[in-house]
Amino acid sequence: MFGLGAAGAAAVGAGALAANSLLDDPPVAHASSTSGPYPFYGEHQAGIVTPAQDRLHFVAFDVTTDDRAELVDLLQEWTAAAARLTQGKESGAFGAVGGAPEAAPDDTGEALGLPASGLTLTIGFGASLFDDRFGLAGRRPAALADLPKFPGEQLIPEISGGDLCVQACAHDPQVAVHAIRNLARIGFGKVSVRWSQLGFGRTSSTSRTQATPRNLMGFKDGTNNMKLEDADLLREQLWATAGDGSAWMAGGSYLVTRKIRMTIETWDRTSLAEQEQIFGRDKGAGAPLGKKAEFDPLDFGAKGPDGKPMIAADAHVRLAHPSFHGNAHLLRRGYNFVDGSDGLGRLDAGLFFIAYQRDPRRQFVPVQMSLARNDSLNEYIKHVSTGLFACPPGVRDAADYWGRTLFET
Amino acid sequence: MFGLGAAGAAAVGAGALAANSLLDDPPVAHASSTSGPYPFYGEHQAGIVTPAQDRLHFVAFDVTTDDRAELVDLLQEWTAAAARLTQGKESGAFGAVGGAPEAAPDDTGEALGLPASGLTLTIGFGASLFDDRFGLAGRRPAALADLPKFPGEQLIPEISGGDLCVQACAHDPQVAVHAIRNLARIGFGKVSVRWSQLGFGRTSSTSRTQATPRNLMGFKDGTNNMKLEDADLLREQLWATAGDGSAWMAGGSYLVTRKIRMTIETWDRTSLAEQEQIFGRDKGAGAPLGKKAEFDPLDFGAKGPDGKPMIAADAHVRLAHPSFHGNAHLLRRGYNFVDGSDGLGRLDAGLFFIAYQRDPRRQFVPVQMSLARNDSLNEYIKHVSTGLFACPPGVRDAADYWGRTLFET
């Protein structure tokens, strides 16, 4: 198909330059090991508004002990380990080296010598934790209501839900994996890994200092995401308050995860025009259709020369837009994934969607119900995993621990 | 378990410093987006002695056409795309943007705006390509002999073998994934993805400019790896020559892949002393047991105060050492992997082993047979996938293509 002579190759090169010149953006710096550690202690957990790191290891655990004291003990141990790991230290005082040779090391060692790499660890409690095992039934927040069944979803129970989750984000996957592995190790006999997911190439920015990255459909994703600089919006839409009904969640947030498999081979055979109609943005700059630049405001009333809306009635950006959902925003910080191939000659790839919010009943649920019913993107995606977790407030200091407000107040 | 008062936390912190101070190494820079593109054209394929990048997407394809001309056409298209992708360009002249809106874009777009990120693409031909479909039966190199069955291996056919493979290495996984995906897309109707594997945290250095990284057992791996600075050794042990029997492979190399699942939960409960005995090196510095520094020479005759060998008879470094295999070296450039969890509450993790060599019959096979029979590490690992590929010489210029010497000479 391609001419392989020197002249052909030169022509190919010229075409590429023309295409690339349409892109005015600075390169997205996807990988960086330069940032120092993020503070572990604070009013809120890190890893929510923290500028989205580029690598993810997400894990959901089943609690295998029925003993509330053991669970609290584990949360305390995890907190101590997380406070160390996020600062670039080993997971325990008795590290991979320097300890007694006849004992197993506290730390598994594969991150020895690696910097903190911007690691954050964020814990969440699933609805199943509030059953009758730990005396928490009366403490379940109203906002942690089970998600409804969405049209078209094909959820796999084995990779959905979980009593606990931990989101590890870092610039280096080895650091994120090391953290999850050591938490799993500390939890041996009390928890078991229910499912875990690796991700790369953050698909949203959570700070205006970050360029907007692209999902595996090749489109910029999360242009209008809530960002850490939006102080008023975060207060209104991200952080739970004591007045919301569950005082223990004040300063916390609710996390929804969805593993969204893309049928990328089918997508890749659709025309550029159709792809752009489906999203409602152009693929190069990410501008709303009919506009020029990524951050130009969306005008849902604009019509093209043919009298039809520039942004179609079933376009993704229209259906998901806050203006159609009582101004409901989400703080998204999802990741691309490729889990090998699917046995049918295709890559098993897609988006691991992660969104934080103050109340999923008023935010994720109506937005997703609208998308699930009408989004023209549905032809190319399939939701295969779901998770809903109450992420407690931050750990204030070394005397505090993950979930203390749930167990002790 | 941990004291959570301020005093307890301080003590924990002090312990960590003591442990870390045992490490004299500079930090391993795992993530970097600063390096420019590697040249695509040359005597050898890039991605073999190229300083090992930190991310991998490896794919094996089955060829689904029986038409030799279609296969050659595909190899030419792939070569043109690879020459562009490795230089940070899109996969085709008609890119994700800038082309005709009514056509599907040539490029899937998710790497738009990303730098080349050190991407290399390396192709290999599996033994099955030399069956009767393409008239290549008489061209199969003797060195591409089927691997023997190794004791203890539990190979899964669906994730083993393949007619073709492409190894994509880069500093950014999004760039590596983008490359493989676009090659798969170009091959639609001619090849299908047989299996694919993502990896991170290179487990070997291929240059003396790189610090030795750690595998998921927490040990430095590949200290004595063949490196690009070892010109004589590379000539002797890495690159095939015309005199080896298959002239079309001159300047090429043979690739063995093994997916090695680790039972890391069991490993993590073994003592530091046992772990070090199994490897024959200490865990902190990576020094041979009884020595001080990582690159101190291995002395297999050295005995401890108890009269036993410092490095046990079944230690990994002893069994794998060139001195016991007629000075057989390998150029390893494997990666760690985590593929989620295994349904039994454990992480599905391990090492995706990659090794290049001049002749597997004299290099990988005897070394692995020795390890498979006697290595005390076998209690903690399981080989679940295997691959053997003849990687042809490099593409000389834009008129050349991957595999030309196989099809045209």
pLDDT band at B33 (very low <50, low <70, confident <90, very high): very low
For residues B344 and B359, what is the distance between their CA atoms, to the nearest angstrom?
39
pLDDT in tens, chain A (409 residues): 333 333 333 333 333 333 333 333 333 444 444 467 999 999 999 999 999 999 999 999 999 999 999 999 999 999 999 999 999 999 887 677 767 888 889 899 999 989 999 999 999 999 999 999 999 999 999 999 999 999 999 999 999 999 999 999 999 999 999 999 999 999 999 999 999 999 998 888 999 999 999 999 999 988 989 999 999 999 999 999 999 999 999 999 999 999 999 999 899 999 999 999 999 999 999 999 999 999 999 999 999 999 999 999 999 999 999 999 999 999 999 999 999 988 888 889 999 999 999 999 999 999 999 999 999 999 999 999 999 999 999 999 999 999 999 999 8
Confirm if A365 and A208 have CB atoms less than 8 A apart. Answer: no
Q: Say which of B11, B90, B196 has its CB closest to residue A340.
A: B196
* Tokens coding B69: 């001309």
- The residue-averaged pLDDT of B8-17 equals 33
Q: Hey, are the CB atoms on A95 and B158 less than 8 Å from each other?
A: no
Distance from C-alpha of B64 to C-alpha of B58, rounded to nearest angstrom: 19
* Burial per residue of B270-294, b for 16 or more beta-carbon CB atoms within 10 angstroms, e otherwise: bebeebbbbbbbbbbbbbbbbbeeb
Contact B216, B336 (CB under 8 A): yes
Per-residue pLDDT for B202 more than 70? yes
Residue tagged 């005396």 (tokens): A135
Best of A65, A89, A174 to disrupt the B interface by mutation (most B CBs within 10 Å)?
Answer: A174
Is the ipTM, as predicted for this complex, more than 0.85?
Answer: yes
A63 — phi, psi (to 5°)? -80, 125
Q: Rounding to the nearest 10 degrees, give the CA dihedral for residues A37, A42, A46, A48.
A: -150
Number of neighbouring beta carbons within 10 Å of residue B235 = 11
Q: Residue A321's closest CA among A301, A345, A304?
A: A301
- Please state, in angstroms and as integers, the Cα–Cα distance from residue A258 to each residue in A288, A368, A383, A384, following that order: 25, 11, 6, 7
The CA distance from B231 to the nearest CA of chain A, in Å, is 30
Residue B11 has pLDDT above 50, yes or no: no
pLDDT for B39 equals 97
CA distance A271 to B389: 36
B274 contact partners, CB below 8 Å, separation of at least 6? none
| Amino acid B17: pLDDT | 31
CA distance B288 to B296: 7
User: A44 vs B344, which has greater pLDDT?
Assistant: A44
d(C-alpha B113, C-alpha A27), whole Å: 5
Give the mutation candidate from A214, A257, A292, A339 for the B interface (greatest B CB count, under 10 A): A214
Contact indicator for A380, A269 with CB cutoff of 8 Å: no
Q: Cα(A83)–Cα(A399) distance, rounded to whole angstroms?
A: 12
DSSP per position, A277-296: HHHTB-TTT-PBTT-SSTTS
Contact between chains at B13 and A89 (C-beta distance less than 8 A)? yes
Task: Report how far residue A372's alpha carbon sits from residue A370's, in angstroms, rounded to the nearest whole number.
Answer: 6
Q: Mapping DSSP to helix (H, G, I), strand (E, B) and coil, where does residue A170 land? A: strand
The per-residue pLDDT of chain B, averaged, comes to 90
Contact B98 A19 (CB under 8 A): yes
Over range B90-113, report the average pLDDT. 84
Checking if the pLDDT of B322 tops 80, the result is yes
> By CA distance, what is A23's nearest residue in B?
B113
Give me the half-sphere count of Cα atoms (radius 13 Å) on the Cβ side of residue B21: 7
* Strands B253-262, B381-391: pairing kind: antiparallel
Partners of residue B343 in chain A, C-beta under 8 Å: 158
Contact by Cβ (8 Å): A320, A370: yes
**Closest residue in chain B to residue A17, using alpha carbons only:** B89
pLDDT of residue A35: 60
pLDDT (0 to 100) of residue A202 = 86
Closest CA of chain A from B115, distance in Å: 7
Q: Which residues of B touch A271 (CB under 8 A)?
A: 101-104
| Residue B142 DSSP code | G
B19 → closest Cβ in A97, A218, A400: A97
Task: Return d(Cα A224, Cα B163) in angstroms, integer.
Answer: 45
Length of chain B: 409
pTM of the model: 0.90
Is residue B383 within 8 A of residue B256, CB to CB? The reply is no
Residue carrying structure tokens 């009298």: A307
**Residue B32 binned pLDDT confidence (cut-offs 50, 70, 90):** very low
Give exposure, B242-267, as e/b (b: 16+ Cβ within 10 Å).
eebebebbbbbbbbbbbbbbbebbeb
